[in-house]
């Protein structure tokens, strides 16, 4: 299991989304992925959510301290970890 952190600060742009797409393509369901955004840009997270949903990943958005917002990617829909 790997702990992977992707930092999309200071703002989300198309290159960030493509980088996330590349990381997801190599992610194992046992890996832990945390996507970090600035809280002020949380409204821009729609592209990230859309990508995660299209690829079938489960995720949990979480607020954080110091103006940081996290998206915790927890596995794929219907994976062994869901059972």
Q: Are 59 and 73 in contact (CB under 8 A)?
A: yes
Query: What's the pLDDT band for 78 if we cut at 50, 70, 90?
Result: low
Global pTM reads 0.83
pLDDT of residue 27: 92
63 beta partners: 69
pLDDT single digits (tens) 2-53: 999 999 988 888 999 999 999 999 998 889 999 999 988 777 889 999 999 9
DSSP E strands, the chain = 3-7, 32-38, 57-63, 68-76
Q: Per residue in 36-50, pLDDT tens?
A: 999 887 778 899 999
pLDDT interval class at 59 (50, 70, 90): very high
The CATH architecture of the domain made up of 3-82 is 2-Layer Sandwich (3.30)
- Domain positions in the chain are 3-82
Structure letter (DSSP) for residue 31: S
């Amino acid at each position: 299991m790997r702990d992977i952190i992707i930092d999309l600060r200071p703002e989300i742009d198309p290159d960030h989304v493509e980088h996330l797409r590349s990381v997801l393509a190599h992610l194992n369901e046992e890996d832990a992925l945390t996507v970090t955004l600035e809280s002020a840009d949380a409204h821009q997270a729609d592209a990230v959510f859309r990508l995660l949903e299209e690829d079938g990943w489960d995720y949990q958005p979480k607020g954080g301290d110091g103006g940081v917002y996290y998206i915790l990617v927890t596995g794929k829909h219907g994976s062994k970890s869901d059972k």
